[in-house]
Amino acid sequence: MFTGNMANRFDDIDALLHGLMQQDKPSLKELFDRKVQELDLPVTAACKLIGVQHRSVKGLLTGEQKIVDITTLIKLAEFLQVPQEEVVQLYMQAVQQHNPVTTMSLQKIEFIKANFDLAALKKAGLINSLSDYEHIENRITKRLGLKSILEYKKPNGDVAFSSGVFNPKNVLTRSFWISAAIACFEEIDNPFPYSREGLINIFPKLKRYSTNVDLGLKDVVKLLYKVGITVVYQPPMAGLKLRGATFNHRGKPCIVLTDYKGFYPTLWFALVHELYHVLFDWEEIKTMRYHLTDDTNDEVSVREREQMADMFAREYLFSRDKTKEIKRYIHDSEYIREIAEENHIHPSIIYAMNAFDLSGDGAQWAKVRLMSPPFETTIKNINAPLDDDTPIEQLLHGYKTAIKF
């Protein structure tokens, strides 16, 4: 018999071994999956053998079902051929994993509920739980560059061109999207002064870069960066119909491209649209801090400015007159490719302008989708994803490497 320090040492070893064995112990779901595979049974057939509905068994195995009849656990233990006590213990572990106990203060929990649409953030891939508030705080603070969730403040609602009458839907999601964009610009912190003359000099050759799907947009962003304009791509979020945005960060224009329609040509259209605002509306945007190209805003003052920006982008990329001339040949892909080369643009832009003129024709937008290249590689170097769990400074490392001089 061991006494003193030796006895304590063996107690420690036993505790360590027990902990290691607990870590290696399979979950209730893993035991069930193994048994079903061993018996070569469909899951539905296994549920019938147990005498429990499939939905109930699934809830038990994942811990989603918090209230359960003890006889169900007994039946499950018999099916798995493991002790009843072990099944109960594994079930309790599954419930705890699915519904983690938080040590977060009630103040923070209430703050999160009041300021964030958690369902929208989960759909965007930023968070993977609606109830693990420590995880939620961790992901939000990393993406926004905050030390504490309590530092978060909704952005000013005074948007350029708006009379203040417009009450947007999905305010919480909209506020987060804006805050996420601002966090990018603060992290990038473009050192070059804004030069309107420099932007005007870039314009004649800008659309040529659309012909290079992989690198064209990145090269344009580099050119704009050097004249004091920062451009990032930030994914759209559910419930928002934003096509882009222009911000004032330390007196310099910052553009966010987003494309809820998912077309390569509309990405370029959005860029030129926002650059119009930089050229002709910068003083008002600078005063109001930001402008959103929001398809849900029907204020007359806003729609007039948006239509002017749309018209500018349209005429610059491929004019209405040119679209009328080629309309009868729109199904001749070789001809359209030749016209695109003559006009120094990607062919998909022509299809998009034609569909824009025939806005009620779904077949034409289907044609745009067919002829548009995927733009994952296009945005790769300028993308600020929402589904990445790295801190904002690491998230933009690739951007800094590709764009900064």
Whether 223 and 202 have beta carbons less than 8 Å apart is answered as yes
Query: Which tokens go with 287?
Result: 């005063």
Per the model's pLDDT, the better-predicted residue between 332 and 54 turns out to be 332
pLDDT tens digits, one per residue of 213-238: 999 999 999 999 999 999 999 999 98
Burial of 86 (0-12, 13-18, 19+ CB in 10 A): middle
DSSP code per residue over 167-185: --SSHHHHHHHHHHHHHHH
85: CB partners within 8 A, 6+ apart: none
Phi-psi bin for 63: left (phi > 0), alpha (psi -120 to 50), beta? left
Q: Match 């499939």 to its residue by tokens.
A: 54
Torsions phi, psi of 44, nearest 5?
Answer: -65, -35
pLDDT tens digits, one per residue of 61-90: 887 777 777 888 888 888 888 888 888 888
Q: What distance in Å separates the CA atoms of residue 313 and residue 176, rounded to the nearest whole number?
A: 28
Instruction: For the domain made up of 4-98, give the CATH fold.
Output: 434 Repressor (Amino-terminal Domain) (1.10.260)
Band of residue 297 on the pLDDT scale cut at 50, 70, 90:
low
Q: Is the pTM of this model over 0.85?
A: no
Whether 138 and 146 have beta carbons less than 8 Å apart is answered as no
Going from N- to C-terminal start, the domains of the chain cover 4-98, 106-151, 171-317+374-403
DSSP 104: -
Q: Which of 332, 371, 381 is nearest to 351 (CA)?
A: 371
